Amino acid sequence: MTVTARFAPSPTGTLHVGNLRTALHNWMFARANGGRFLLRIDDTDRARSEERHVDSIRADLAWLGLVPDGEERQSSRFDRYEARFAELVAAGRVYPAYETAQELELKRKVLLGRGLPPVYDRAALALSDAERAAFEAEGRAPHWRFRLDHDAGIEWDDLVRGHQRFDPKTMSDPVVRRADGSWLYLFPSVVDDVDMAITHVVRGEDHVSNTATQLQMFDALGSGSPAFAHEALLTGSEGKLSKRLGSLGVDHFRDAGIEPQALVALLARIGTSDPVEPHVDPALLIAGFDFARFGRAPARFDEVELAQLNTRIVHQLGFDAVAARLPDGMTPEGWDAIRPNLSTISEAADWWHVVEGPVDAADMSDEDRAYLGQAAEAAAAIDWSGDPWHALTGALKEATGRKGKALFLPLRLALTGRAHGPDMAALLPLIGKDRALARLAAVG
């Protein structure tokens, strides 16, 4: 058996962080088991589906490094849904129902008012041919429901939630097709999973009741069902389900300077018993991927944690990986010098400006100005071909008796305009002799 997982977004909007986590875990599981990862565009809703969102979904997955092994479009498979639908109608597993939305809502309110669960009463199954014909004659088109088998208990061993059991008698027969002929999610998804030989379905725990229904659909179609893993939903840092998570997508993270490796590293591990670690190479995350390590408690997504993780990722990235996003003229040596002080790659331009100048002159005491005058003379005399920073500070320490902060801070302020920053031993050779002498002379 080839493990085959799928990510099945609807192109009615952009992906949010919860979608991205689902896509990532499907991809990781497939890769961990030497299997296939498919992208299925669930575009049966023609009114709301937009091609620009399809393009956005592909681009977002590419940014994260999640390359599908194949892609399918539900909009190209309507004939297949019609054929399998006709089979279930002929077998009596799908039936027409003629209640209006208002009539169904009234039934629901009556049941709730009696303290009963709002389960559909299957009144449509009791209609005579004449009654159905009368509805048709008055122009009332039916919607279609899948008839659950009340005698067949629903059970499965979920890869995250453990053993699950549902009583179909407590469930409404789900609507699978609207009166206008359009499809709801449940049935086409099952047909696709059968035809595409999906072996594992990884999705959020909000789909658990859908799975209970779909298991009977797989059986009605004469097919075995995939294994299911229902993950705990993401919560915000405040510990509650956050609407804001529904608006956080790739554009948000990219604009904030988050590297895709950081987002992958966080989403791969939150909600598991494994620590979140700054792995640049996803192979290390894939190797340890196991649904047995996922918990049932909500998975906490914290943007502060993501930013901290991003900093640790940036500190590992080599020059070749970031060169296209660095300011003109920055060398590998420049990247190595500046990288330890960055939280995002965009900050490199600010530090490279410190190298190339001009820098703002810092306020100095008269004593420090005199000291920097000595520093300018010493800088002109040292050998710049080796380690100019230690040569300069060594000469000044001997000449002035200064040490520690009194020795180093005025030099840093004069040379960079800042009290903190990259290691001056790495930065001073990048500034170079001419610029360093000019900066020291300007202050001293």
Q: Please give the DSSP secondary-structure letter assigned to residue 272.
A: B
Phi, psi values for residue 3, rounded to 5°: -60, 125
d(CA 421, CA 99): 71
215 torsion bin: left (phi>0), alpha (psi -120 to 50), beta (else): alpha
Terminus-to-terminus CA distance in the chain, angstroms? 76
Write out the binding residues.
243
CB 285 within 8 A of CB 28: yes
Query: How far apart, in whole angstroms, are the C-alpha atoms of residue 230 and residue 294?
Result: 10
Q: How many CA atoms lie within 13 A of 373 on its CB side?
A: 7
Q: Is 43 exposed, middle or buried (0-12, 13-18, 19+ CB in 10 A)?
A: buried
> Residues within the annotated binding site for ATP?
243
d(CA 36, CA 153) in angstroms, rounded, equals 32
